[in-house]
Amino acid sequence: MSGYSTVEVRTGGSQDIVDITSQVRRIVKESGVRDGLCLVFSMHTTAGITINENADPDVKTDMIAGLSRAFPERDDYRHMEGNSHSHLRTSCVGPSQTLIVSDGDLLLGTWQGLFLCEFDGPRTRRVAVKVAEL
């Protein structure tokens, strides 16, 4: 597979964590790659990518609450757009994740999922996905 694929995600709130595991799995399967790597990259400065538990929805709520305490919306920020907290949260989470592709599927633990973390929404976000054979 040359180039990359894009997942479009519509977020529902100013702070949102959206499970994108199934969309990325579909791209991996369609790529035909059996063993390799999958890079998932948020093309935004205020939305990150993480891997975390996908069984209990309270984990997402707790993640948002914890990041909100660490990087409050109102503080002594200088960025004139008023979304410095979103940039800080994204830098903390990170813009990408690299996953192992094994037997044509993402290698994830039993409770793990792949998530887009929205910190300045709601918006429509683009996530680039590159699958490469090793």
pLDDT tens for 101-134 read 999 999 999 999 999 999 999 999 999 999 999 9
User: What is the model's pLDDT at position 80?
Assistant: 82
Question: What is the token pair recorded at 113?
Answer: 């999922």
User: What is the model's pLDDT at position 1?
Assistant: 40
d(CA 46, CA 87): 5
Q: Which CATH superfamily is domain 5-133 in?
A: YjbQ-like (2.60.120.460)
| β-sheet with 16-19: strand ranges across | 16-19, 112-118, 47-53
**pLDDT confidence band for 2 (50 / 70 / 90):** low
Question: What is the token pair recorded at 56?
Answer: 């209990």
Residues 6+ apart with CB under 8 A from 22: none
pLDDT tens for 43-94 read 999 999 999 999 999 999 999 999 999 999 888 888 988 899 999 999 999 9
Helices (H), the chain: 21-31, 58-70, 84-93
d(CA 64, CA 95): 16
